[in-house]
Structure 1
Amino acid sequence: MTAMPSQRLRPVVKILRLQGFPLLKQLRLEEALLRADPSNWWLVNDGAAEPTVVLGISGKPDQLVHLEKAKEKGIPLIKRYSGGGTVIVDGDTVLSTLILKAADLPYVEKFPGPIMAWSEDLYRPVFSHLGEFRARENDYVLGHLKFGGNAQAITKNKFVHHTSFLWHFQSHHMEVLKLPAKQPAYREGREHADFLCSLRDKLPTRAAFIESIRTAIAAAGFDTEEASLDEAEHALQRDHIKSTRVII
């Protein structure tokens, strides 16, 4: 009797759904899941708990943020564990974080450029019907307007690709950020209000948007499995490097 060839199992991504979750806690949880947990994860936080400025691990606050304005507005500054630029997030930001094992994506080189290109393909079904969707440098854009900023952290066996999606944005919050000396070429020196667009003007609901991301993850070759915050937080108890911190 000839044995039937076994089907290759699809890798599983655990889904952790959050809403209004404090950003510092989210970033520390992501870092723990990257460094001290063996599973694939997708964390989606539907709105940060409060306006917060987040800098990349090498970002210099005095060069990137109007510190006095941030202090006046009571907006905290966090330095995250990943690279990338500076963003301000709030309740109108949808935060999407993929934490994946390199072995489950053997065709993707573990460098920022190839990961960014892979993510563009991943998200294409979510956004391509809205217009000319592209990844440009570290951003997602429709035409010449940015609606998502990205950053990565890469270890030997895993990587993080996280995105802040602008469901809507408050211009007065954006005033806290300085125009960075190093800008994407396509920005052409534009102020934030002339450089950004809101997804709420283009998509029906936040819930439908989040579900479309889950569908895209499944279409990219993963099975998805709902997980609890308690399960994810076990990683916080394990030994790992902790580089996410509050600056102000």
Structure 2
Amino acid sequence: MAISKLSNFRLPLMNLVRMNGVPILQQLQLEEKLLRTSSDNWCIINDGTPDPAIVMGISGKPAELVDVKSVLRDKISVIRRFTGGGTVIVDHGTIFVSFICNKEAVPGLQAYPQPIMAWSSLLYDEVFHGALDYKLRENDYVFGSRKFGGNAQSITKNRWIHHTSFLWDYQDANMTYLKIPQRAPKYRQERDHSEFICRMKDILPRSDFIDRTIKAAETHFSLTSIPLDEIASLYTTNFDPSSTILTAEELEATIETKDKSLLSQAL
């Protein structure tokens, strides 16, 4: 069924939360709480996270996805989030955008991974209108053949979340902490990170991207801005989030025995 837009007076309501530099773990824990305990629709935009951190999907295996020895040596946090998807290293150059919706919020949208991805790509068509060769490729947002946005999702009985880490900028050195995953998208063609990803800052200014994203969301929803500090008072339900930082012991346990003595000498 085709996804249709409603006239303005019938647009579904959505709360907009704009954040600046909130730690990514705090953001993930907030999103899971809103997904599981709220009945409202939400758009959460977080402009950067203070310190570099690696974020893995719920089923990610550190030894297959990251250079564990380097991560431990340099004390880089590794977070296992509550959604699926791949692995990314994020920092102050990353812009995060999340949509948390009831299943009936988008008319005609079936609450399955690929239809949600397709809907999101249409929304970002509005954001990147006129930009160089923007498209959804497999499960990534790309300019041409280079990835600039990675996506993850979780779908519950009545709700879903689709969140994206946008690489507005990044440090090349940070990408060395990541391995090429065994289940990489076909279009990657085994390229290393330097040849596979690109920076959004070469396409449009940071503030323009955020403003355009909000404007695009307003074509689908009626937005109401809510400050971050008001959410706690609105939603007081106790909730135990599943997104967590992996401990050094958990990471060390993934290293082969022959490498552990080398790691202890390096530390």
TM range (shorter): over 0.9
Instruction: Tell me the CA shift for residue 10 of structure 1.
Output: 1.5
**Contact persistence 1:150–1:163 (CA under 8 A):** yes
Task: Give the counterpart letter for 1:238 in structure 2.
Answer: T
SS of aligned partner of 2:64: helix
Partner of 2:129, secondary structure, is: helix
**1:69-115 per-position Cα deviation (integer Å, ceiling 9, x unaligned):** 11222210000000000010000000111111111124111111110
Does the 8 Å contact 2:132/2:203 carry over to 1? no
**Larger CA deviation: 20-29 vs 237-246:** 237-246
CA, structure 1 residues 228+186, in 2 after alignment: closer, same or farther (shift >3 Å)? same
Equivalence for 2:47: 46
Mapped contact 1:29–1:232 kept (Cα < 8 A): no
The corresponding residue for 1:105 is 106
In the TM superposition, residue 233 of structure 1 has moved relative to its aligned partner by 2.8
1:121 correspondence with 2:113: no
Structure 2 unaligned residues grouped into runs of 5+: 1-7, 248-267
Residue 97 of structure 2 corresponds to residue 88 of structure 1: no
Q: Structure 2: how far apart are the matches of 1:114 and 1:140?
A: 15
Task: Point out the more displaced range, 17-26 or 227-236.
Answer: 227-236
Is the CA contact (8 Å cut-off) linking 1:29 and 1:236 kept in structure 2? no
Amino acid at match of 2:214: R
Structure 1 window deviating more from structure 2 (68-77 vs 115-124): it is 68-77
Query: In the aligned structure 2, how far is the partner of 1:239 from the partner of 1:115?
Result: 29
Would you say 1:15 and 2:21 are equivalent positions?
no
8 Å contact kept, 2:95–2:166 = yes
Find the counterpart in structure 2 of residue 213 from structure 1. 213
Give 1:42's aligned amino acid.
C
Residue type of the partner of 1:187? R
Alignment partner, residue 75 of structure 1: 76
Distance 2:41 2:65 in 1: 32
Query: What is the 5 A alignment of 1:154-173?
Result: 154-173=155-174
| Secondary structure in 1 matching 2:166 | strand
Structure 1 partner of 2:223: 224
What is the aligned length?
240
Q: Equivalent residue for 1:183?
A: 184
Aligned letter for 2:201? R
Larger mean CA deviation between 50-59 and 231-240 belongs to 231-240
3-state secondary structure, aligned to 2:51:
coil
* 8 Å Cα contact 2:38-2:235 kept in structure 1: no
Alpha-carbon spacing, 1:151–1:161, altered in 2? closer, same or farther (3 Å): same
Distance 1:232 1:111 in 2: 28
Query: % of aligned pairs identical?
Result: 42
Aligned-partner SS, 1:128: coil
Structure 1 Cα separation of the partners of residues 151 and 176 of structure 2 = 20
Provide the rounded CA distance (Å) in 2 between the counterparts of 1:188 and 1:16. 37
Q: Is the 8 A contact 2:55 2:87 kept in 1?
A: yes
Secondary structure at 1:17's aligned position in 2?
strand
CA separation of 1:60 and 1:125: change in aligned 2, threshold 3 A: same
SS in 1 for 2:29: helix
1:240: Cα distance to partner? 4.2
Cα deviation, 1:40-70, whole Å, max 9, x if unaligned, reads: 1111110111100000000011111111111
| SS of corresponding position for 1:208 | helix
SS at match of 1:129: coil
1:141 corresponds to which letter in structure 2? Answer: V
- Render the CA deviation track for 1:172-215: whole Å, top value 9, x for unaligned: 10000011011100000000010111011110x21111010000
1:28 touches 1:242 (CA, 8 Å); kept in 2? yes
3-state SS of paired residue (1:134)? strand
From the superposition, tell whether residues 102 and 21 of structure 1 become closer, same or farther in structure 2 (CA, over 3 Å): same
Q: CA deviation at 1:236?
A: 6.3
| Map 1:230-241 → 2, pairs under 5 A | 230-234=229-233, 237-240=236-239
Give SS of 1:175's match. helix
